[in-house]
Structure 1
Amino acid sequence: MSQADSAMPATTKPNKLQRIVSKCYQLPQALQAFALTTVFGRVIKFAGTAGVEVLELKGTRSVLRLKNRKKAQNHIGSVHAAATGLLAESATGFLVGIHLPDSKLPLLKQMQVDYIKRSTGDLTAVASLTAEQIAAMHNDEKGEVTVAVTITDSVGVEPVHAKMTWAWIPKKR
């Protein structure tokens, strides 16, 4: 991943998570999403158990998917509300995670998930950060960002409106 691709300030050193993600992107393209999904599924066990897939994680954007499988379904056969929240949290949290310096600890401060209508099939979440948000993560000892995430289903409908507020604090040494 190049400096331009990562959307990090030019003087910033990649964090541990970003170095792992960069190694995944060095693999052949057909293996990249599998490698990213495997890494995150092992680190964030709940996301791995639910089957969250990482399709893209670079620059200012992440794209994750949750297939409508039995283990993630509700009683009416669509993706469960809690699994949908997990997808939104994962899309935003993984994106914050690749930008936050190793000296800082990310904490989910607030989840806003508004369920608008029943979803059909698989769900895809796209989260994005601005350059200003990324700069704040690098420059401010403590802070927070509200990360937009768009969730669409298999027929292109946006059944959920969500945003997550992530805070960070210095890690205890």
Structure 2
Amino acid sequence: MTTSQVKPNKVMALYNKLTPLPFGRRFFTLMITRMAPYFGSMGPLITNLRVNHCECLIKKRRKVFNHIKTVHVIAICNGLEMAMGVMAEASIPKHLRWIPKGMSVDYTAKAGSDIRCIAQVTPEQWTPGDMLVPVTAYDDQGTIVVQGHIKLWITEKPNKA
């Protein structure tokens, strides 16, 4: 069976069901922030989700400003972690599970606009052990404002007795 023929997991199926509806992406994002409430602190929106790829939008507004009125890097890191977590939940093979172990990022430019956070992996990366998920945040002009990776620990699910 090819990747396109595999039945989507619950997260991917929910996204596919909701996104054609009016406000579907907003409702999907709200459901995610109910499961992980801290993510709601930056007012995110999941704008694109497919297996092994997720994009999260953070609007430039007062609640995410730093002292120079750009988007605070911690809000961006929160958006990157959200993109990674949703991507992981929508993509991980059924026999595996994940937990984050760390994050390493570089601040490369001022974040003076809305920010698009992207997490993306390849199917071959889903193996037990450490997995580095590349994460990148872009401004409205396509400039990279934060880049790095989030380290996941991937393990086999225990057998159910």
CA contact (8 A) 2:83 2:117 kept: yes
Q: Which amino acid aligns with 2:105?
A: V
Runs (4 or more) in structure 1 with deviation over 4 Å come to: 101-104, 170-173
What per-residue deviation string (whole Å, max 9, x for no partner) do you get for residues 22-55 of structure 1? 3224x33x43322321221211211112211100
What is the percentage of aligned positions where both structures have the same residue?
26
Given candidates 15, 18, 21, the residue that maps to 1:24 is 18
Given candidates 156, 168, 172, the residue that maps to 2:142 is 156
> 1:59 offset after TM fit, Å?
2.5
Given candidates 38, 51, 74, the residue that maps to 1:59 is 51
CA contact (8 A) 1:60 1:128 kept: yes
Given candidates 149, 152, 157, the residue that maps to 1:166 is 152
Q: Which amino acid aligns with 1:162?
A: G
CA distance in 2, matches of 1:81, 1:95: 21
Give 5+ residue unaligned stretches, structure 1.
5-9
CA distance in 1, matches of 2:67, 2:38: 20
CA distance in 2, matches of 1:99, 1:36: 16
Q: Which amino acid aligns with 2:87?
A: L
Given candidates 39, 42, 48, the residue that maps to 1:50 is 42
Cross-structure match for 2:78: 86
CA distance in 2, matches of 1:144, 1:17: 23
- The verdict on how the C-alpha distance between 1:117 and 1:143 changes in structure 2, with shifts beyond 3 A counting, is same
Q: Which amino acid aligns with 1:93?
A: G
Cross-structure match for 1:39: 31
> 1:72 offset after TM fit, Å?
1.3
CA contact (8 A) 2:51 2:90 kept: no
What per-residue deviation string (whole Å, max 9, x for no partner) do you get for residues 143-171 of structure 1? 23211122111232212122111223355
Q: Which amino acid aligns with 2:142?
A: G
CA contact (8 A) 2:52 2:91 kept: no
- The verdict on how the C-alpha distance between 1:45 and 1:103 changes in structure 2, with shifts beyond 3 A counting, is farther
> 1:94 offset after TM fit, Å?
1.1
- The verdict on how the C-alpha distance between 1:156 and 1:105 changes in structure 2, with shifts beyond 3 A counting, is same
What per-residue deviation string (whole Å, max 9, x for no partner) do you get for residues 55-95 of structure 1? 01113321111111111111111111211111111111211
Cross-structure match for 1:143: 129
* TM value normalised by structure 1: 0.78
CA distance in 2, matches of 1:144, 1:14: 24
What SS does the aligned partner of 1:47 have? Answer: helix
